[in-house]
């Protein structure tokens, strides 16, 4: 099941069974087999059936594509082809910028034009705040120059890119030593605690994940002590500990860790490798991330001309009823 389908069902309070909100998945190996045994109808049939099952009781279906307009072409089901199949209009979402952003939008529009899919407009996402006014003005004018409407310019919010401890635990299959009740903690910073404690604590900031060898009891206890000093306003709260090298501290230390509101994870990897993996994680918003969902919804309300989008598809104002979401 596609994670985005689960996310949209919760965020939009969408009706419908999950299998109808994510009617097609492409498992590993399917594309190689498909190019020799093409059967577009086998893919298109469940997509049509899913939308047909939702259509009678909903005024609007949001159909999320993936990647650029041509993704899925190898199985005769590109984003542009699926939009045509369903008689849908399109809004293209692009990353922040001006030159490359507009160039890529024009390229994507060409594929939708080829399929006869009407383009409502474009939304520019993740524009850095210090450049927002300049980029917003330039991209709106640039899109107008190429005959494309800009229906929103959304600023970058770094809090949407912070992973939670549970995302790290699930992504890398880490063992939970203790503090499982606090896995929802948000990781804002990652430090490698391989130096002496008096130097290490200078790098602790609010929401730090401390990656530390499991036998460095000095740094483990220094991190916990700093976290506990937060109540006195003298130190930042840490998000959690990742103990590396497959080392588990002595039971007396584990007992202390179990009394603190800090999740502690274990890995067999060495400290450098573990830190590298964690830093490389690109977190997605999941159905559990209620705070992130609220931020994303607020950004859309504040920076996207939703009424213009609805007006372009024949809905003059935002519908008040439930919204169905079909994930492509």
CATH number assigned to the domain comprising residue 122: 3.40.50.300
What is the full DSSP assignment across 73-130?
Answer: GGGT--HHHHHHHHT--EEEEEES-SHHHHHHHHHHHHHHHHTTPPEEEEEEEEE-GG
User: Please, what's the b/e burial string for 21-47 (b: 16 or more CB within 10 A of its CB; e: otherwise)?
Assistant: bbbbeeeeeeeeebeeeeeeeebbeeb
Phi, psi of 155 (to 5 degrees): -75, 155
The domain tally of the chain equals: 2
What are the pLDDT digits (tens) for 7-34? 777 777 766 677 777 888 888 888 999 9
What are the pLDDT digits (tens) for 57-71? 887 888 888 889 999
Looking at 53-67, 132-146, 205-219, 286-300, which range is the least confident one?
Answer: 53-67
Arithmetic mean of pLDDT, 127-140: 95
pTM of the model: 0.81
Domain that holds residue 131: 3-157+286-327
Let me know whether 118 and 183 are in one domain.
no
Let me know whether 35 and 116 are in one domain.
yes
**Residue linked to tokens 């229906």:** 151
Higher pLDDT, 8 or 249: 249
Let me know whether 152 and 214 are in one domain.
no
Whole-number average pLDDT of the chain:
89
What are the pLDDT digits (tens) for 278-307? 999 988 888 888 888 899 999 999 999 999
Let me know whether 10 and 120 are in one domain.
yes
Let me know whether 29 and 147 are in one domain.
yes
Other CB atoms within a 10 A radius of the CB of residue 218 amount to 14
Phi, psi of 302 (to 5 degrees): -85, -25
């Amino acid at each position: 099941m596609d994670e985005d389908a689960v996310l949209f069902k919760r965020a939009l309070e969408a009706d419908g069974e999950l299998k109808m909100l994510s009617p097609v998945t492409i498992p590993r190996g399917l594309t190689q087999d498909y190019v020799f045994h093409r059967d577009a109808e086998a893919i298109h049939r469940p997509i049509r059936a899913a939308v047909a099952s939702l259509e009678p009781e909903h005024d609007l279906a949001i159909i999320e594509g993936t990647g650029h307009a041509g993704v899925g072409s190898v199985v005769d089901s590109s984003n542009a082809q699926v939009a045509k199949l369903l008689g849908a209009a399109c809004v293209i979402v692009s990353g922040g910028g001006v030159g490359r952003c507009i160039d890529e939008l024009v390229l994507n529009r060409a594929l939708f034009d080829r399929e006869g899919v009407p383009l409502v407009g474009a939304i520019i996402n993740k524009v850095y705040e210090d450049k927002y006014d300049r980029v917003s003005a330039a991209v709106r004018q640039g899109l107008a120059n190429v005959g494309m409407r800009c229906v929103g310019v959304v600023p970058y919010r770094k809090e949407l890119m912070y992973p939670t401890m549970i995302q790290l635990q699930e992504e890398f299959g880490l063992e939970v030593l203790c503090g499982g009740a606090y896995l929802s903690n948000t990781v804002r910073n990652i430090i490698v605690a391989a130096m002496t404690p008096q130097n290490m604590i200078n790098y602790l900031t609010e929401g730090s994940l401390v990656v530390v060898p499991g036998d460095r009891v000095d740094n483990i206890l220094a991190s916990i002590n700093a976290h506990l000093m937060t109540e006195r306003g003298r130190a930042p709260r840490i998000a959690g500990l990742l103990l590396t090298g497959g080392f588990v501290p002595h039971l007396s230390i584990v007992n202390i860790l179990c009394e603190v509101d800090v999740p502690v994870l274990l890995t067999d990897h060495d400290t450098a490798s573990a830190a590298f993996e964690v830093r490389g994680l690109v977190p997605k918003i999941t159905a559990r991330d209620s705070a992130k969902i609220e931020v994303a919804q607020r950004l859309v309300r504040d920076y996207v001309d939703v009424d213009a989008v609805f007006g372009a598809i024949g809905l003059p104002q935002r519908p008040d009823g439930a919204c169905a979401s079909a994930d492509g």
